[in-house]
Structure 1
Amino acid sequence: MKSASTNITRQGSQTSGSILATISSLNYTDLGYLNIEIGENPKDTEMTGYINHLGNYDRYLEGNFSIRFLENDTLVEYINCYAIELEQDQGLRFIVPKGDIRVLKVSKNNENQTQKMIKQIQNLMSSRQYGNIVFVMGAGASIDVLPGGADLLRKMLEADPHTEICRFITDVFKADIKKEEVPFPSFNQVLNVIDIALEREEGFSAEYSLESLRKLKKNMIGELRKYLIDRANPNVDNSYTELAQQLKAFKEKSGKISFITLNYDLYLDEALNKVFGTEFLEYVLPFQSLNDNGKGNDIQNTGEKENLNKIKIIKLHGSLDWLICPTCFNAFRVSENLHKALSRRTCPADHTELKEFLFPPTKERIEVHSHWTSLQGVADQLLRQADKVVFIGFSLSEDDAHFRFKLKKHLHRPENPVYIQVVSREKKEFDIATDAVSWNYWQFFGPIDYRPIGFKLFSKHPY
């Protein structure tokens, strides 16, 4: 065996000239000094090493953890480490399984700045324990199962070319589904324009009157729902399911988990229901279930069985299986066959036609619904109480100005700093200064734990 760095020597319980590294599990972070022993080809064999001078060794004796350090121009991450023993003089001895190593080259363009920023992050990593974790899920979290951005709307219309929607996009956005070289708008961009027009009660033209815009919105949501339902398969595991399974042990030890999702799709719902069961999930709002014969039944979401340590799911922009009665304002979740139930969507109480329960991201909000206000209030509370927030697939876009304000207000806590972790798509080179996602977060929050490893890998090792 040989040392990973020729200048590492041990002196009792501390290491002179060793590598400063961050060690983290799902609910702990620490700084330590690293001494790695590797074989001739570390990618083809297990690695062993020591990490010492930690705030608390015992917390890493069970479960897995990751170790990250900066060596010259390379950010190295050992992903799935586990402890094998605690030695009094040398510290925590651990193993890195075969192949669980990520090497990310630091871009030469901004090498000095990137290295300084990584060291700032390390300086913030004190010995901490996390018992209240909030996951914020953006569109990028579903990228493995759904097209992202403008591709989603294009693919949806390619699967079922809806004449009225295509004509509106061509007329208003000057985009053509048949011309791939022409930029195409995203689903939210189109829906946002329609929504603001309806809120202001301003039609676009004689052709696109308020009535035609209402019909267009209904058709767009109907087509999206159909596209997602046709591709949904709750029996197939994905990254959402993997993450839920990894979180199970943390929750069983009384850890608090919550989700704030900005997505309309049902992949998160299906994964959590599959792993934890419906009785452990709480959607906050007083929903009634709408089954496939059009009848509604109460869903007990709050006030009962508080000892279950329920997982709160806040769908800030609504959901494809949510409907609302514009007369009595009862809210419904479709509990059985989605296609069949939505074809008979009248309120069981007053027989009014139910409306879609969606709130696309906007830079302004002229009129809000009381249920939307309730969702916002609970999201505010979760963010204020969290000691760790994990963003997955969320670019911190300025399009969602309301949510950005919420994040700034509730996560700005100098007296009790929140640990912010950002998971973005996998990258081969690390340049925190020019990468749009990392720079957005850095400008907005300051130093954050940036993980360009993709949701698929993170879901297997969420630390």
Structure 2
Amino acid sequence: MEQKKKVVYVVGAGLSAGLNFPTIRNLLPRLWGRLENVGIDTEIANVIRFHHPNFNANICDTYPTIEQLLSEMKVNAELFQSTRPATGNFSSEQLDDCRGNLLQEMAIWFHDLKKTALKSKPAWLHDLVNAIKEEEATIISFNWDLILDQLLFGAALDKGSYGLDRRKKGPHLIKPHGSLNWYRSSAASPIKNDKKFSLGGTGEAEVFGFRPLRGVRSKKGRRYMPLIVPPVYTKQFDEPLFQKLWQETVRQLSIATEVRFLGFSLAEADFHARFVLRCGFYNQEHGALKKDGQRETATGRAKVIVVDLSCETLKRIESTVGWGCEFYRMNIADWIQENGIKTHDAER
């Protein structure tokens, strides 16, 4: 019997960059004007300058990446009490506030970018969304933004959309690093029940998604901190929700017949993603683990496609996959239009 086609997309910052979202490299310089507008640039500059004495907000080359900065702030907080006999000019509470303010402004900015991107939706994005729907594909997105959430599900968005209810047919959008419309119970409690849905958990540990999608600032001035995993070198996934998402990521990869990496660089420091991806590709050859310790029948090696501008990305992905991949050294828009997916809508 011919195996049913199961397509999985793995997408990263390269997809969002095609919609004018920032990359890890240029995020801080592009965000800086917004930090100045809300008056938190000075305190963040002081933190950066502590770690990078030559930092100058007017010189792009002196900025650390957002991943580097947040990692440095995390280490600073963890070692705060161990490295000084007194608080000094900067307290650990101020450092936590600084980090929180930075993440909050990033979240607000990403919501604004989403609105702009959806107003001028490019043809390649339309074709990609149509293909995902037709294939009932699974998307593993390491981005927080809400572009695919809106275009794939709209008002029908629910926990099944995020791969948290296996009874719901695809497409599914799995977001192992969180999402800008996911909130802990404490933040979601003021929101009316018809404007949110539960993603899992109980009591204070319950997590909700907002529907319709909404920004992190309400019309009444309330601010909501979404449930996202900050881009740091040593990420933490303590929430039960993230454990479910990682398990579902492995499950979907384990049975995939074709995996398409679109704008996902698999950075050397992203050990969590590398491990989870490796689990999925290992299971393709050896079978997924069952609860009794036995393994399912192996589905065999998937066809793997990598679309990226860097040959180094191909090397990293192939070393994790374990076998050769088709490589298209181009941006996502060109691949979709020239060599990639075809949809019935496009054929008409």
TM category (shorter chain) comes to 0.7 to 0.9
Given the alignment, which residue of 212, 215, 220 partners 2:94? 212
Q: 1:157 to 1:365 in 2, by over 3 A?
A: closer
Q: 1:442 to 1:217 in 2, by over 3 A?
A: same
Alignment of 1:262 with 2:142, yes or no, is yes
Alignment of 1:422 with 2:292, yes or no, is no
The 5-angstrom pairing of residues 9-158 of structure 1 reads: 131-144=5-18, 145-158=20-33
Q: In the alignment, is the contact (CA less than 8 A) between 2:229 and 2:235 conserved in 1? A: no
**Secondary structure at the residue paired with 2:226?**
strand
Quote the offset at 1:137 in angstroms: 0.8
Letter in 2 for 1:321: N
1:378 counterpart residue number: 248
Quote the offset at 1:387 in angstroms: 1.6
- Larger relative strand fraction: 1
**Secondary structure at the residue paired with 1:320?**
coil
**Secondary structure at the residue paired with 1:390?**
strand
Q: 1:377 to 1:341 in 2, by over 3 A?
A: farther
Alignment of 1:231 with 2:113, yes or no, is yes
**Secondary structure at the residue paired with 1:443?**
helix
Q: In the alignment, is the contact (CA less than 8 A) between 1:424 and 1:453 conserved in 2? A: yes
Determine the C-alpha separation between the residues in 2 that align with 1:366 and 1:401: 12
**For the pair shown, which has the larger CA radius of gyration, 1 or 2?**
1
Alignment of 1:311 with 2:184, yes or no, is no
* Deviations 1:191-236, CA, capped at 9 Å, x for gaps: 23334555x4746763454312221221111111222222322232
Letter in 1 for 2:47: F
Letter in 2 for 1:422: V
Quote the offset at 1:452 in angstroms: 1.2
Alignment of 1:438 with 2:292, yes or no, is no
Q: In the alignment, is the contact (CA less than 8 A) between 1:325 and 1:355 conserved in 2? A: no
* Deviations 1:233-277, CA, capped at 9 Å, x for gaps: 2232134433002333x33xxxx4111111111222222235x95
Letter in 1 for 2:272: H
* Deviations 1:83-132, CA, capped at 9 Å, x for gaps: xxxxxxxxxxxxxxxxxxxxxxxxxxxxxxxxxxxxxxxxxxxxx97611
* Deviations 1:8-27, CA, capped at 9 Å, x for gaps: xxxxxxxxxxxxxxxxxxxx
**Secondary structure at the residue paired with 1:160?**
helix
Determine the C-alpha separation between the residues in 2 that align with 1:402 and 1:163: 33
- Larger relative helix fraction: 2
Q: Give TM-score, length-normalised by structure 1.
A: 0.57
What is the aligned-residue RMSD (CA, Å)?
Answer: 3.0
Alignment of 1:164 with 2:43, yes or no, is yes
**Secondary structure at the residue paired with 1:437?**
helix
Quote the offset at 1:169 in angstroms: 1.7
* Deviations 1:273-327, CA, capped at 9 Å, x for gaps: 35x9536961245xxxxxxxxxxxxxxxx37xx4x52322111111222221467
Q: 1:176 to 1:281 in 2, by over 3 A?
A: farther
**Secondary structure at the residue paired with 1:360?**
coil
Determine the C-alpha separation between the residues in 2 that align with 1:197 and 1:334: 33
1:222 counterpart residue number: 104
Letter in 2 for 1:403: A
Determine the C-alpha separation between the residues in 2 that align with 1:358 and 1:137: 17
Q: How many percent identity over aligned positions?
A: 22
Q: 1:173 to 1:241 in 2, by over 3 A?
A: farther
Q: In the alignment, is the contact (CA less than 8 A) between 2:68 and 2:232 conserved in 1? A: no
**Secondary structure at the residue paired with 2:227?**
strand
Determine the C-alpha separation between the residues in 2 that align with 1:369 and 1:279: 19
Q: In the alignment, is the contact (CA less than 8 A) between 2:149 and 2:157 conserved in 1? A: no
Quote the offset at 1:149 in angstroms: 2.1
Q: 1:154 to 1:441 in 2, by over 3 A?
A: same
Letter in 2 for 1:458: W
2:65 counterpart residue number: 186
Q: 1:197 to 1:171 in 2, by over 3 A?
A: closer
* Runs of 5+ unmatched residues, structure 1: 1-127, 286-301, 346-353, 428-434
1:462 counterpart residue number: 340
Letter in 1 for 2:277: L
2:197 counterpart residue number: none
Q: Give TM-score, length-normalised by structure 2.
A: 0.73
Q: In the alignment, is the contact (CA less than 8 A) between 1:362 and 1:402 conserved in 2? A: no
Q: In the alignment, is the contact (CA less than 8 A) between 2:176 and 2:242 conserved in 1? A: yes
Q: In the alignment, is the contact (CA less than 8 A) between 2:111 and 2:145 conserved in 1? A: no
Q: 1:266 to 1:441 in 2, by over 3 A?
A: same
* Runs of 5+ unmatched residues, structure 2: 187-202, 287-299, 342-348
Q: In the alignment, is the contact (CA less than 8 A) between 2:28 and 2:66 conserved in 1? A: yes
Determine the C-alpha separation between the residues in 1 that align with 2:10 and 2:210: 24
Q: 1:140 to 1:172 in 2, by over 3 A?
A: same
1:330 counterpart residue number: 206
Q: Greater relative contact order: 1 or 2 (C-alpha under 8 angstroms, separation 6 or more)?
A: 2
Q: 1:324 to 1:194 in 2, by over 3 A?
A: farther
